[in-house]
Amino acid sequence: MSSVQSDSSVNSTFVRPATFFINGFSNIPHGKYYYVFLSLVYTVTVFGNSFIMCVIYLARRLHTGKYIAVFHLAFSDLCGSSALIPKLIDMFLFEHQDVLYESCLTSMFFIYHFMNMQSLTLLALAYDRLIAICFPLRYHAIVTKTSMCLVIAVMWIFSVTYFSVYVSLVNRLSFCRTNVVNSYFCDHGPIYRLACNDNSINVLITKLSFGLLVCLPLILIIISYACISLALRKIARGGDRTKAMKTLTSHLLLVAIFYLPFLSIHILGFTTSLNPNVQIINNSLTQTIPPMLNPIIYTLKTEEVMQSIKDLYKRNKVKNITDNKEQMY
């Protein structure tokens, strides 16, 4: 489990393990029930995000810049959960806790990449709401399908480049003591802490990532909502103000669900000594619950989506009636 093998015949002090052993939830009491819970979470996540993606694809009224971003959020939620939860279930059912070194780095890349895409997409949606409330007459000229696709493309280029560098820095580490990762996936932090050589660059980029990819988007979202609040105060009619606030509700809930647990766990981790098992459970919930709740919130809290679902249902019902009549004749 903890054996490592040299990957360099030139420098015998540099050691790269053939595999990493992922502890997962093996040290957590009654962990099997948590795996069942994660299976249910993943099922709801796949169904919910696939459903909202299909609705956006089929409903022509949702073919706008805003709903391209919502579609991308659902896609990122689905891919991020798929990169994480099935492997956890595989480790539990078949005890496949040894992960090849290259597979571990690949898994690390995709999990972090899609988490980052969720964060950046929430920022893109905040930008959409800022333009809609502060510049309503220019909204359709600024937030177009083309402009939103361009924003998403830039997000992808940035994220892929950043996390390619982020993950590749693991290759400079030597693991001469153990290959046991005290986490539920190939987590960068627990892995670089296993290194025997200098890991200061990895520590630095981890801190940079927290500030650049978590704190900065959240600060920009807060600033955008501060501007939105100032714009709403200038709206004279209370009915118009209430209508405008309704369009913000779903996005505010998504932001709160994604960022608040993440920040609270990291703040607690910095200020108190959390039990490792508690920290693992909290971190896993932070990564798995928001992708499950996002499509539910957008479906129930957004009138456009609800109306599109009703229209699609009616259209499908009429089509079935028409098909049945044609078969009768």
**pLDDT of 265 over the 80 cut:** no
Q: What is the pLDDT of residues 29-46, one digit of tens each?
A: 777 888 899 999 999 999
* CA–CA–CA angle 96, 280, 291 (5° rounding): 85
Q: What is the pLDDT of residues 93-116, one digit of tens each?
A: 888 899 999 999 999 999 999 999
pLDDT bracket for residue 21 (50, 70, 90) = very high
Average pLDDT on 292-298 reads 89
Q: What is the pLDDT of residues 113-133, one digit of tens each?
A: 999 999 999 999 999 999 998
Residue 201: the pLDDT is 95
Report in angstroms the alpha-carbon separations of 241 from 67, 180, 229, 247, 292. Answer: 22, 55, 10, 10, 30
> Which residues have C-beta within 8 Å of that of residue 311, sequence separation ≥ 6?
59, 61
Domains along the chain?
Answer: 19-328 (1.20.1070.10)
Average pLDDT on 257-284 reads 74
| 19: enclosing H helix or E strand | strand 19-22
| 250: enclosing H helix or E strand | helix 238-271
Report the side by side order of strands in the sheet with 19-22.
98-100, 19-22, 180-181
Q: What is the pLDDT of residues 214-245, one digit of tens each?
A: 899 999 999 999 999 888 887 756 666 676 67
Q: What is the pLDDT of residues 53-93, one digit of tens each?
A: 999 999 999 999 999 999 999 999 999 999 999 999 998 88
Per-residue H/E/C for 123-143: HHHHHHHHHHHHCHHHHHHHC
**pLDDT of 253 over the 80 cut:** yes
Beta-strand pair 98-100/180-181 = unpaired
> Which residues have C-beta within 8 Å of that of residue 47, sequence separation ≥ 6?
none
Residue 7: the pLDDT is 46
What is the C-alpha separation between 233 and 329, in angstroms, rounded? Answer: 62
* CB contact at 8 A, 16 and 101: yes
pLDDT bracket for residue 1 (50, 70, 90) = low
**pLDDT of 269 over the 70 cut:** no
Average pLDDT on 272-294 reads 82
pLDDT bracket for residue 27 (50, 70, 90) = confident
Mean pLDDT of the chain: 86
Token pair listed for 231: 């714009």
Paired strand residues for 15:
6
pLDDT bracket for residue 327 (50, 70, 90) = low
Q: What is the pTM of this model?
A: 0.89
What is the C-alpha separation between 79 and 210, in angstroms, rounded? Answer: 21
pLDDT bracket for residue 314 (50, 70, 90) = confident
